[in-house]
């Protein structure tokens, strides 16, 4: 009998989603910025210390709001790692920014902080660190550089819910931050996201941009007696139906995180030694960072070994995947890139592989995946 396939990802349903969505629908208020939106925002502000949050329809949207808030103009430079999802760069490119790609470090895919200062010029408007796999970048070093040169820091915290840097929540340190609730993230609403605003200078304008360039949020609070068109913006807010779904996930965040961390630890403990002998590395987490178990990845010796491992797992019914292709070599940006080589970014592009990691992945599934990898490394 064929073994049941183990998919790479399976979005978790807590069971309360339909209940809250029904409540939202039944309330007669299903457009955005209603009760569930406020409940979600309040939760994040209170639990993680973000000064102000706004739910969005995606992390991409939250990043687009950041680019507008940062007042990016054509020719402004924005420093972004090359090994990241397209949206990190795209949101700024839409406003005319020139992307200055930073290389990853050798220890993990986060940007190499030791080479960051040399990328800063008088045109640098923002630095966008991506906390890869929810593992913090060295935020003290980044914030110090930003202060020294008067640059904004916008955290791409898409993968970083419930993760910390020296005790501070990721997304609470930069001037602005973005989160994703895409179905592949720890908690999700299918598509979804959130803007976190830590520099209160941006709060008022963010609410306006969020509500199609109108001061409707102030109107709803009774701060102005009519509302109208006051700035640029778009329709960045999700409907109450999506917020209701997300609220069910939020309520179960601790339980979801406990299970994900358990799976992550099993992989780490049991693969560390097995892999080392054939040149495969397990993730590196610096002392200043926590692990939110967003992702478990392995770093193969080279592209051939990775292709072999993915094929081997596939034969055993296990779906493992690689992802980001260096953005500086992408079809869209390579002709615009300044030509610098970014060898570590290319290394992760060729050597990183992600293993299945989701709430419902059973201990027996984890055993099967680990056994398959052991066979691959010739250790079974
Ligand atoms: C998932 C992800 C995004 C995009 O999130 P969406 O909610 O799908 O827009 C952006 N950046 C990183 C690093 C991500 O992992």
* Distance in Å, CA 221 to ligand 1 centroid: 31
Report domain 17-250's class: alpha beta
Q: Is pLDDT at 379 greater than 80 in this prediction?
A: no
**Cα 377 to the chain's mean position, in Å?**
31
Identify which of 9, 60, 83, 236 to mutate to test ligand 1's pocket (most ligand atoms within 8 A of the CB).
60
Q: What is the reported pLDDT for 231?
A: 97
Average pLDDT over residues 101-121: 98
β-partners of residue 54 are 195
* Binding site membership of 60 for ligand 1 (Cβ less than 6 Å): yes
* Binding site membership of 85 for ligand 1 (Cβ less than 6 Å): yes
Q: Residue 69 contacts by C-beta under 8 Å, 6 or more apart in sequence?
A: 176, 202, 205, 206, 209
Beta-carbon count within 10 A of 269 CB: 11
Q: What is the reported pLDDT for 1?
A: 47
Residues 76 and 98: beta-carbon distance below 8 Å: yes
Average pLDDT over residues 39-47: 98
What ligand 1 atom has the least distance to the C-alpha of 180?
7
Average pLDDT over residues 80-92: 98
Mean pLDDT, rounded, of the chain? 96
Q: What does DSSP assign to residue 77?
A: E
Rounded Cα distance between 20 and 247, Å, is 8
Which pLDDT band, with edges at 50, 70 and 90, does 4 fall under? confident
Q: What is the reported pLDDT for 2?
A: 57
Q: What is the reported pLDDT for 380?
A: 59
Q: What is the reported pLDDT for 176?
A: 98
Q: What is the reported pLDDT for 378?
A: 86
What ligand 1 atom has the least distance to the C-alpha of 182?
7
* Binding site membership of 195 for ligand 1 (Cβ less than 6 Å): no
Question: Which residue, 256, 211, 217, 373, is CA-closest to 12?
Answer: 256
Q: Is pLDDT at 78 greater than 80 in this prediction?
A: yes
* Distance in Å, CA 34 to ligand 1 centroid: 25
* Distance in Å, CA 87 to ligand 1 centroid: 7
pLDDT tens digit sequence for 261-300:
999 999 999 999 888 888 999 999 999 999 999 999 999 9
Average pLDDT over residues 139-160: 98
Q: 141 in helix, strand or coil?
A: helix
Q: Provide the sign of the torsion angle of the four alpha carbons 209, 74, 154, 189, taken in this order.
A: positive
Q: 21 in helix, strand or coil?
A: helix
What ligand 1 atom has the least distance to the C-alpha of 87?
10
* Binding site membership of 214 for ligand 1 (Cβ less than 6 Å): no
Beta-carbon count within 10 A of 23 CB: 14
Output the residue whose Cα is nearest ligand 1's atom 5.
59
Q: Is the pTM of this model over 0.95?
A: yes
* Binding site membership of 290 for ligand 1 (Cβ less than 6 Å): no
Q: Is pLDDT at 79 greater than 50 in this prediction?
A: yes
Q: What is the reported pLDDT for 69?
A: 98
What ligand 1 atom has the least distance to the C-alpha of 60?
9
Could you say which of 3.30.70.1450, 3.40.50.720, 1.10.287.1080, 3.90.1150.10 is the CATH number of the domain covering 253-377?
A: 3.90.1150.10
Identify which of 158, 183, 187, 294 to mutate to test ligand 1's pocket (most ligand atoms within 8 A of the CB).
158
* Distance in Å, CA 378 to ligand 1 centroid: 36
Report domain extents, the chain. 17-250, 253-377
Q: Provide the sign of the torsion angle of the four alpha carbons 322, 190, 38, 229, taken in this order.
A: positive
What ranges in 70-175 are assigned the alpha helix state H?
A: 86-93, 139-149
pLDDT tens digit sequence for 316-364:
999 999 999 999 999 999 999 999 999 999 999 999 999 999 999 999 9
* Distance in Å, CA 190 to ligand 1 centroid: 12
Q: What is the reported pLDDT for 35?
A: 97
Average pLDDT over residues 192-199: 98
What strand order describes the sheet that includes 77-81? 52-56, 193-197, 176-180, 152-156, 124-127, 77-81, 98-102
Question: Which residue, 296, 270, 293, is CA-closest to 283?
Answer: 296
Which pLDDT band, with edges at 50, 70 and 90, does 122 fall under? very high
* Binding site membership of 58 for ligand 1 (Cβ less than 6 Å): yes
What is the chain's length? 380
């Amino acid at each position: 009998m064929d073994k049941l396939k183990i998919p790479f990802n399976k979005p978790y349903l807590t069971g309360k989603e339909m209940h809250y969505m029904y409540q939202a629908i039944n309330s007669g208020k299903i457009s955005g910025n209603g009760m569930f939106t406020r409940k979600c925002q309040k939760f994040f502000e209170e639990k993680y210390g973000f000064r102000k949050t706004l739910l969005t329809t995606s992390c991409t949207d939250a990043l687009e709001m950041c680019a507008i808030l940062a007042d990016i103009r054509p020719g402004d430079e924005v420093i972004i790692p090359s090994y990241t999802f397209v949206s990190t760069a795209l949101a700024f490119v839409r406003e005319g920014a020139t992307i200055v790609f930073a290389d990853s470090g050798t220890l993990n895919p986060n940007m190499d902080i030791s080479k960051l200062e040399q990328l800063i010029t008088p045109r640098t408007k923002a630095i966008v660190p991506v906390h890869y796999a929810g593992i913090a970048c060295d935020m003290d070093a980044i914030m110090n550089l930003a202060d020294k040169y008067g640059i904004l820091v916008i955290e791409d915290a898409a993968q970083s819910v419930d993760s910390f840097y020296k005790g501070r929540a990721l997304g609470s340190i930069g001037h602005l931050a973005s989160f994703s609730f895409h179905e592949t993230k720890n908690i999700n609403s299918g598509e979804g996201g959130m803007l976190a605003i830590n520099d209160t200078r941006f709060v008022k304008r963010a609410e306006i941009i969020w509500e199609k360039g109108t001061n409707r949020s102030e109107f709803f609070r009774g701060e102005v007696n009519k509302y109208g068109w006051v700035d640029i913006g778009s329709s960045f807010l999700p409907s109450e139906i999506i917020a209701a779904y997300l609220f069910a996930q939020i309520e179960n965040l601790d339980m979801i995180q406990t299970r994900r961390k358990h799976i992550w630890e099993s992989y780490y403990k049991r693969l560390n030694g097995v892999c080392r002998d054939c040149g495969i590395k397990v993730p590196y987490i610096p002392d200043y960072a926590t692990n939110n178990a967003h992702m478990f990845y392995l770093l193969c010796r080279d592209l051939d070994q990775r292709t072999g491992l993915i094929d081997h797992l596939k034969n055993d019914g296990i779906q493992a995947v690689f992802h980001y292709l260096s953005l500086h070599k992408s079809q869209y940006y390579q002709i615009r890139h300044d030509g610098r080589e970014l060898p570590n970014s290319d290394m992760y592009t060729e050597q990183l592989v992600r293993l299945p990691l989701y709430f419902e992945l059973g201990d027996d599934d984890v055993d099967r995946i680990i056994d398959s990898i052991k066979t691959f490394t010739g250790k079974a």
